């Protein structure tokens, strides 16, 4: 039963993206169908939604297999849809899960449980009455779906790219505070492991920029980063948001492998160039304007 509730929660975690004006994204349709089934108790309406997703055979529509899994589970409870399911094209993980399904029990002796709560608790605690899994397939397919590299982070990057296709790029160096704010956005994406989003941000806001990580011993470079970070955090004119991000980065420096941190910092425009640069004398002037309080 706990796994069933977990599967329901995971279905709910496929949160809808931005409301589209054209065809609805599969993740949004799947979420809508789940809401209709679980919250609105509109099983027939949900089945129609699941079937529409299942019939969408585009290769990128991997949500169709979550929908197919849920339709199969509903069939096991006696609620059948009106369309044949595309099981011949199903991924191996779903076919294997179907083959391992136990037979659906003809009945569950619930009357004793309803009559005496004490009996119910004792029976459930001792597994004297085995309750069938409500979602033995959807949970398996959801775990598989998350290994296919088409999660919400990738969709976020795709939507970001689409929204900005026609946006005019600001001249390089025209607004130093804006450029620093954009650089910290890249840093935030890198710190959160959102590689696709970080790539999109670099591509749009720093189209001519190329990473330039100094060669050498990562531990030596990391010590350089420590020195630069400590000096940066000591500046009074540093904005609070940037200060918070740099503190987070400073903590990560002590926890993550040196090579990993150095490579990540090297992928961040402006910020990486400053942190990986040779420490300068205290009275030297920086080459780039420093981020102030502008967000």
At 267 the pLDDT is: 92
Query: Helices 63-76 & 138-145, crossing angle to 10 degrees?
Result: 170
Q: Do 8 and 136 reside in the same domain of the chain?
A: yes
Residues 33, 53 contacting (CB under 8 angstroms): yes
Tokens encoding 137:
């397939």
Distance between CA atoms of residues 140 and 144, nearest Å: 6
Which of 113-122, 206-215, 260-269 is predicted least confidently? 113-122
- Does position 113 have pLDDT exceeding 80, yes or no? no
Q: Indicate whether 73 belongs to any domain.
A: yes
- pTM, two decimals, is 0.42
> Given pLDDT bands bounded at 50, 70 and 90, which one contains residue 31?
confident
The CA-based angle 3-8-14, given to 5 degrees, is 125
Q: Do 6 and 144 reside in the same domain of the chain?
A: yes
CA-to-CA separations, 181 to 172, 188, 256, in angstroms, rounded: 13, 10, 25
Q: Indicate whether 191 belongs to any domain.
A: yes
Range of the domain at 7: 2-104+132-150
Q: Do 266 and 188 reside in the same domain of the chain?
A: yes
Query: What is the number of domains present in the chain?
Result: 2
Distance between CA atoms of residues 274 and 229, nearest Å: 9
Q: Indicate whether 166 belongs to any domain.
A: no
Q: Do 204 and 139 reside in the same domain of the chain?
A: no
Q: Do 184 and 144 reside in the same domain of the chain?
A: no
Residue position matching structure tokens 């941190």: 261
Q: What is the pLDDT of residues 228-285, one digit of tens each?
A: 999 999 998 888 888 888 998 999 888 888 889 999 999 999 998 999 888 766 544 4
Q: What percent of the chain has pLDDT over 90?
A: 9
Distance between CA atoms of residues 127 and 200, nearest Å: 52
Tell me, rounded to whole angstroms, the distance of Cα 34 from its chain centroid: 19
Dihedral sign for Cα atoms in the order 28, 33, 34, 36: positive
At 238 the pLDDT is: 83
Q: pLDDT: is 253 or 131 the higher one? A: 253
Q: Indicate whether 144 belongs to any domain.
A: yes
Q: Do 144 and 17 reside in the same domain of the chain?
A: yes
Q: Which of 242, 160, 245, 174 is nearest to 204 (CA)?
A: 160
- Does position 213 have pLDDT exceeding 60, yes or no? yes
């Amino acid at each position: 039963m706990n796994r069933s509730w977990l599967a329901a929660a995971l279905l709910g975690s496929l949160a809808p993206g931005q409301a589209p004006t054209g065809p609805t994204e599969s993740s949004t349709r799947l979420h809508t169908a789940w809401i209709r089934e679980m919250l609105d108790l509109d099983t027939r309406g949900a089945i129609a939604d699941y079937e529409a997703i299942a019939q969408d055979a585009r290769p990128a529509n991997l949500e169709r297999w979550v929908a197919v899994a849920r339709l199969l589970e509903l069939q096991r409870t006696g609620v059948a849809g009106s369309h044949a399911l595309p099981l011949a094209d199903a991924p191996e993980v779903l076919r294997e899960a179907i083959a391992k399904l136990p037979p659906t029990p003809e009945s569950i002796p619930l009357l004793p449980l309803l009559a005496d709560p004490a009996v119910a608790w004792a029976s459930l605690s001792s597994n004297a009455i085995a309750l069938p899994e409500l979602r033995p397939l959807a949970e398996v397919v959801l775990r598989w779906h998350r290994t296919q590299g088409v999660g919400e982070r990738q969709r976020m990057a795709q939507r970001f790219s689409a929204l900005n296709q026609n946006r005019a790029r600001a001249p390089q160096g025209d607004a130093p505070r804006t450029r620093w704010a954009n650089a910290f956005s890249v840093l935030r994406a890198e710190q959160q492991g959102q590689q696709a989003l970080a790539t999109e941000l670099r591509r749009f806001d720093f189209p001519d920029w190329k990473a330039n990580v100094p060669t050498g011993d990562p531990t030596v470079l990391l010590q350089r980063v420590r020195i630069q970070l400590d000096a940066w955090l000591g500046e009074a004119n540093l904005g609070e948001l940037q200060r918070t991000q740099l503190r987070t980065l400073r903590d990560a420096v002590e926890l993550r492998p040196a090579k990993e941190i150095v490579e990540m910092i090297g992928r961040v425009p402006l910020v990486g160039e400053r942190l990986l640069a040779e420490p300068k004398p205290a009275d030297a002037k920086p080459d780039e304007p420093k981020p102030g309080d502008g967000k």
